Amino acid sequence: MLYCSFMIMIISTVVMMISSALSKKTITDREKNSPFECGFDPKGSARWPFSLRFFLIAVIFLIFDVEITLLLPLVITMLMANIYSWTFIGLFFLLILLLGLYHEWSQGALDWTN
């Protein structure tokens, strides 16, 4: 059993080393190393930093977008459910959404002036 495990480790290590040695590209081409912009030379550097505030707003938008899609079945089940439980669940979910929005607002995540 130990001999078989040892042989498997040796064989897999040798195969990984051979594949790593064979996959090395020695020819570097300027066109292959440059970013692709519809076949034209790039106007500027492709490594510019992006706005972290924009990224945060995009993530918040995605979170609230997913939560809105969770609200859609609530409208469909309105006629099939008890009106009191339906109202309580809907208001509770909206309250959670509004508390999350208030928290993001109070933390300054939605303030673009800073």
Number of domains the chain contains? 1
**DSSP type of residue 73:** H
Integer Cα distance of 70 and 74 in angstroms? 8
Instruction: List the domain range (segments joined by +) for residue 69.
Output: 52-106
Radius of gyration of the chain from its Cα atoms, rounded to whole angstroms: 27
Q: How confident is the model at residue 10 (pLDDT cuts 50, 70, 90)?
A: very high
Predicted confidence (pLDDT) per residue in 54-102, tens digit? 887 888 888 878 888 888 888 888 888 888 988 898 899 889 888 988 8
- The upper half-sphere exposure of residue 96, i.e. CA atoms within 13 Å in the direction of its Cβ, equals 11
**Is 76 within a domain?**
yes
**Is 91 within a domain?**
yes
The pair phi, psi for residue 86, each rounded to 5°, is -65, -45
**Is 43 within a domain?**
no
This prediction has a pTM of 0.47
**Is 3 within a domain?**
no
Query: Is the Cβ–Cβ distance between 112 and 53 less than 8 Å?
Result: yes
